[in-house]
Amino acid sequence: MNVTTIPATLAQAAAVRAQLTAQMATSLPDDAVVSGDWISAPEARDGAVVYVHGGGFAHTNPEAERLVAYRLSKATGRPVLRVDYRLAPAHPYPAAMEDVLAAYRSVLDRGVPEAEVVLVGESAGGTLVLSALLELARTGGSPPGAAVAISPVTDLALESPSLSANDGKDLMNRAVLEAVRTQYLAGAEAREAPQSPLYGEPRGLPPLLIAAGSDEVLLDDARGFAETADAAGVSVRLEIYEGMPHAFHLSEVGEVLFGRVGQWLADPVREFTVSGREAGPYALAEGADGALWFTLVHQGAIGRRSPEGELSAYPVGAGPTVIVPGPDDALWFTEYQRHRIGRIGLDGRVDSFELPTAQAGPFGIAAGPDGALWFTQTNAGRVGRITVEGKVTDYPSPGAFPSAITAGPDGAMWFTLNQANAIGRITMDGDTTAYPLPTEAAAPVGITAGPDGALWFVEIGAGQIGRVTVDGTITEYPLPDRGARPHAIVTGPDGALWFTEWGGNRVGRITVDGRITSYDLPTPGSEPHGIACHGGALWCALEIGALARIEVPA
């Protein structure tokens, strides 16, 4: 889970409290456009935000809420629908949640795609947003593209530790929350979802940004739901604003929060926790079942993330490293530490095949044009071939430390020679060739077939991307950050080459004519390694126990 702490000075925190306690009223700017409950800043274009206000489920202040809606519109560039839901105690649970769902459906009925809709709620409205998401998941409804919950109540049993730890620091307290709970639930169970989101099943929810002040009594309500959703494989960003009390979003600090909401929505990168930080996701591949399969190199397991986000793990031998789809609908992987080749079926059944050369150190693996799998043996300086029945043949490598391998457009296999500083080629009958690189100590690692009929590779030592044609002509493209240590590379669905920057904490992109861009990963030091196409996006493995999804730009 990506957790960010937003600092504040003592003076800023005091100013926020003074502003909130004075209940300052601010009018809408003259350029705001209000059409019913639709509110738009001038720059608002496509998509929609469904905004759910706070007020303890029982109160509304339309003028103040319209101002919040305007600020959201300005920050996100989308028109905002303020939901005027029914209020407790006259209309207790589930009336307000039903109104939020009805408002969401009305936006879809206007023709706005689900992926372009964002649900945003604050305080009780944050609770209603999370409740609505859980109800959509339970009933099989289509979720929005993303959701934001600011200072939500997620445990109406009122058992969060911060209720006591932050008592006296906040403008909110337990007594107020007890009254809110009584009016809203009107006898409904406090330890059940969706009314108490913390008790729900968050698997399959859309990306979430959850924010709270460090001095809020509801801090652990926000943190607890974020951790539960993160453990269920949901992409979650938790932001904690230092020294801030409940309702801080109504102050000037809210401009910082709304600005960060806009940045988060525009960020093409999302992270998904798939294991403990020590497990080490290393490489990944899309299976024939539409799931994403990945190696957990330090856990000795293969992981699977279903299209719905459900996670599974299957124990295998020590050190599973690179994984690829095979010609038999299974996934094949190298067992670097056990010096074997592994196979896992879509049903989770695992087979393992011994290699003829001891201590071979298999690393790269790829399906060949001959219906077999070809792999490198880094320690032995050999290239191997294994049939789907498990028969192994190997050949001498034309250089030291053969690493990643891929099928070329010429019917041969191409591979990097990390310590020989060259690119290797092997035909189906075992003839090999080496093409030296122009840059000394380039240390090539990842390699892939490009969309232009050439092979593209990364130079982890030189901070460059390389291209080699089938006749051996090599071109090199220096990265803006020569210390980026690029590691793996793949052809993306957009016809560009995408690569991980292990040292730069980024994912890079290079077009076939050499134009380079990059995307920062949200979590510092995330150690990106493998990269693969999946579901129309790029995914990379982060050794901090997560996978990152990168939306391919139009």
List of domains in the chain? 2-267 (3.40.50.1820), 281-550 (2.130.10.10)
pLDDT above 50 (res 25): no
pLDDT over threshold 60, residue 24: no
Residue 10 has pLDDT above 60, yes or no: yes
Cα-based angle 359, 364, 366 (whole degrees, multiple of 5): 130
Could you tell me the pLDDT band of residue 3, with boundaries at 50, 70 and 90?
confident
By C-alpha distance, which of 87, 42, 41, 37 is closest to 66?
37
Whose tokens are 């092997």? That residue is 426
**Average confidence (pLDDT) over 308-332:** 95
- The stretch 111-126 carries a mean pLDDT of 97
Contact predicate 439/428, CB 8 Å: no
Model pLDDT for residues 45-84, shown as the tens digit of each residue: 899 999 999 999 999 999 999 999 999 999 999 999 999 9
Distances in Å between the alpha carbon of 333 and those of 109, 345, 352? 46, 11, 9
The predicted pLDDT at position 124 comes to: 98
Q: What pLDDT does residue 361 have?
A: 96
Among 251, 222, 249, residue whose Cα is nearest residue 237: 222
Write the pLDDT tens digit of every residue in 206-218.
Answer: 999 999 999 999 9
- Give residue-wise pLDDT tens across range 151-169: 999 999 999 999 999 999 9
Q: Is 53 a catalytic residue?
A: no
Determine if residue 487 is labeled as part of a ligand binding site. yes
- Report residue 199: phi and psi, to 5°: -95, 5
Instruction: Dig out the tokens for 471 from the structure.
Output: 């006749």
DSSP summary character for residue 139: H
Cα–Cα distances in Å, from 423 out to 361, 377, 467, 498?
19, 15, 10, 19
Residue 23 has what pLDDT?
Answer: 46
Q: Provide Rg for the chain, Cα atoms.
A: 27
Average model confidence (pLDDT) for the chain? 94
Is the pLDDT at 172 greater than 60? The verdict is: yes
Tell me the per-residue pLDDT of 458-512, one tens digit each, with 9 for 90 and over.
999 999 999 999 999 999 999 999 999 999 999 999 999 999 999 999 999 999 9
328 and 388 Cβ atoms separated by less than 8 Å? yes
Degrees, nearest 5: CA angle 500-272-195: 160
Give dist(CA 430, CA 413) in Å, integer. Answer: 10
Has residue 33 got a pLDDT over 70? no
pLDDT at 1 over 80: no
Least-confidence region, from 14-28, 286-300, 470-484 = 14-28
3-state secondary structure 274-341: CCCCCCCEEEEEECCCCCEEEEECCCCEEEEECCCCCEEEEECCCCEEEEEECCCCCEEEEECCCCEE
Total length of the chain: 554
**Residue 220 confidence (pLDDT) above 50:** yes
Residue 2 has pLDDT above 90, yes or no: no
With contact defined as beta carbons under 8 Å apart, do 259 and 515 qualify?
no
pLDDT of residue 252: 84
Predicted confidence (pLDDT) per residue in 350-391, tens digit: 999 999 999 999 999 999 999 999 999 999 999 999 999 999
Model pLDDT, residue 96:
96
The rounded distance, in Å, linking the Cα atoms of 57 and 53 is 9
8 Å CB contact between 126 and 149: yes
Q: Do the bridges between strand 2-6 and strand 236-241 make them parallel or antiparallel, or are there none, so unpaired?
A: parallel
Q: Kindly tell me the sign of the dihedral angle through the C-alpha atoms of 334, 340, 341, 344.
A: negative
Residue 553, pLDDT score: 81
Does 438 score more than 60 pLDDT? yes
| 543 known member of a binding site | yes
In percent, the amount of the chain with pLDDT more than 70 equals: 96
| Packing angle of the helix pair 124-139, 95-109 (nearest 10 deg) | 70
Task: Answer for the pair 548, 528: CB distance below 8 angstroms, yes or no.
Answer: yes
pLDDT on residue 7: 83
Catalytic residue among 53, 249, 298, 529: 529
Q: Is 252 annotated as a binding residue?
A: no
Rounded alpha-carbon distances, angstroms, from residue 9 to 22, 244, 253, 353, 525? 20, 10, 11, 60, 27
Cα(266)–Cα(278) distance, rounded to whole angstroms?
30
**What value does the mean pLDDT take over residues 219-231?**
97
If we measure between CA atoms, which residue out of 274, 295, 292, 194 comes closest to residue 231?
A: 274
Cα–Cα distance measured from residue 45 to residue 206, given in angstroms and rounded to the nearest whole number = 22
Peptide bond between residue 206 and the one before it cis (omega within 30 degrees of 0): no
pLDDT score, position 30: 63
Place of tokens 């932001």: 239
Specify whether the CB–CB gap between 541 and 534 falls below 8 A: no
Assign 27 a pLDDT band (cuts: 50, 70, 90): low
pLDDT of residue 32: 54
